[in-house]
Every structure is written in structure tokens, then in C-alpha cells.
Amino acid sequence: MNGDPAGTRQKVYTFAEDDYRFGAGSLRMTVERIDWSKPFLQDGERWFEVMGVEMTWDDRPVGRRQALIRGSRLTGMGHG
């Protein structure tokens, strides 16, 4: 049992430090929205603005978070 009987818990994604801008260490967050319409080109790759909630390692919410995430890490999340 996952402790969330209603099934409302969002998946928490972990992004390596090299896969997002800007911060130090891995980023753990839920993904609420990805702005597919305005990719940023950096180092020959597309990066997308992602909005969600940053999470601690024990799945407690830290707060709202916006980050640029490497497009190749967003594969299978709806578009990209």
C-alpha cells in the first residue's frame, strides 16, 4: 500500500545536476507543466521550462519550482 488510497499522488522525477538549470545537486520535483512552445537552445540541445513542486528525498514538498530541464530528460512526458 502506498499510503495514498485516492491515488492522487504525483510522480516525483529526479533530474541530475547536469540536466537542469540552475542549482546544485540533483533536483527532485513533480512536473505540473512543461512549456513546449518556447525551447531554449543551449550547447546544441533543447531545454524547456518546467513548473512543479520541488520535493525532499523523503517526499515532503519544499515549494513551487521552475527550472530549465534538458529536453532529452523529458521524453515520454507528453510532447518533446
pLDDT tens track, the chain, 80 positions: 344 444 457 899 999 999 999 889 999 999 999 999 999 998 899 999 999 999 999 999 999 999 999 999 998 786 65
Check: pTM over 0.75? Answer yes or no: yes
pLDDT at 77: 80
| Domain assignment present for 65 | yes
Number of domains in the chain: 1
pLDDT at 79: 64
| Domain assignment present for 5 | no
| Domain assignment present for 66 | yes
| Domain assignment present for 58 | yes
| Domain assignment present for 4 | no
User: Which domain does 58 fall in, by range?
Assistant: 12-74
pLDDT at 80: 53
| Domain assignment present for 1 | no
| Domain assignment present for 79 | no
Residue 35 neighbours by CB under 8 Å, 6+ apart: 48, 49, 50, 51
3-class DSSP state of 72: helix
Relative to beta strand 61-70, strand 27-42 is: unpaired
